[in-house]
């Protein structure tokens, strides 16, 4: 079975609390902006790897009380088109909200899922390490990193106990 929904919840909850406790977030005078980068899945399990970042982001947006802001880089084409159409007069808009440039990110949030599997006559065993980090977008400094790990054992590939 591999990575399960309760694993996702547990990992996302741990990362949420850890991110909020890190100095660059907890002590920031202004809420930093974060850009999501893809997550690497180096396990044998076929999983939508970005679901971890989606959940961490959603939880931070709903529970962090504005301590972190996210940039919607995955919607960049739509944003650019909307800006062009407003400036061309196709759409009405509030010119006081017009930004000269798009907002840049302060940090990148990314992660890795790494696994180690063993199979034998007595069953299967899987160890999965989840690591996530915040990278300073100006200096490349890794300003925060945390991890969660899970081990599962079972009689075969599908059922763990």
Question: Helices (H), strands (E): how many in the chain?
Answer: 4, 5
Task: Please tell me the class of the 5-89+101-154 domain.
Answer: alpha beta
* Burial per residue of 124-155, b for 16 or more beta-carbon CB atoms within 10 angstroms, e otherwise: bebebbbbbbbbbbeeeeebbebbbebebeee
Structure confidence at residue 148 (pLDDT): 95
Domain boundary assignment for the chain: 5-89+101-154
**In degrees to the nearest 10, what's the CA dihedral of 128, 134, 139, 141?**
-50
Going residue by residue through the chain, which has 161 residues, state the pLDDT in tens, using 9 for 90 and above.
Answer: 577 889 889 999 999 999 999 999 999 999 999 999 999 999 988 888 888 889 999 999 999 889 999 999 989 999 999 989 998 889 888 888 887 788 999 999 999 999 998 887 777 888 999 999 999 999 999 999 999 999 887 765 444 44
**In degrees to the nearest 10, what's the CA dihedral of 20, 33, 74, 142?**
-70
The answer to whether residues 90 and 16 touch, using CB atoms and an 8 Å cutoff, is no
């054992």: which residue's tokens?
A: 153
Element (H, E) at 33: strand 33-42
- How many residues would you count in the chain? 161
Helix (H, G, I), strand (E, B) or coil at 30: coil
Cα separation, 1 vs 52, whole angstroms: 17
Structure confidence at residue 106 (pLDDT): 97
Cα separation, 91 vs 100, whole angstroms: 18
Q: What is the pTM of this model?
A: 0.83
Cα separation, 45 vs 1, whole angstroms: 8
């Amino acid at each position: 079975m591999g990575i399960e929904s309760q694993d996702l919840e547990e990992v996302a909850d741990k990362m949420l609390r850890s991110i909020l406790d890190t100095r660059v977030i907890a002590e920031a005078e202004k809420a930093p902006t974060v850009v999501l980068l893809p997550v690497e899945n180096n396990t044998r399990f076929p999983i939508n790897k970005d679901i971890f970042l989606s959940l961490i982001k959603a939880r931070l947006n709903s529970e962090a009380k504005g301590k972190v802001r996210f940039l919607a880089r995955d919607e960049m084409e739509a944003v650019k088109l909307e800006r062009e159409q407003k400036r061309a007069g196709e759409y009405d808009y509030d010119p006081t909200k017009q930004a000269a440039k798009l907002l840049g990110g302060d940090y990148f949030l990314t992660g890795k899922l790494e696994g180690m599997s063993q199979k034998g006559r007595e069953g299967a065993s899987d160890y999965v390490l989840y690591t996530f980090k915040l990278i300073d977008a100006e200096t490349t400094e890794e300003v925060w990193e945390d991890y969660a790990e899970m081990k599962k054992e079972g009689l075969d590939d599908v059922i763990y106990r």
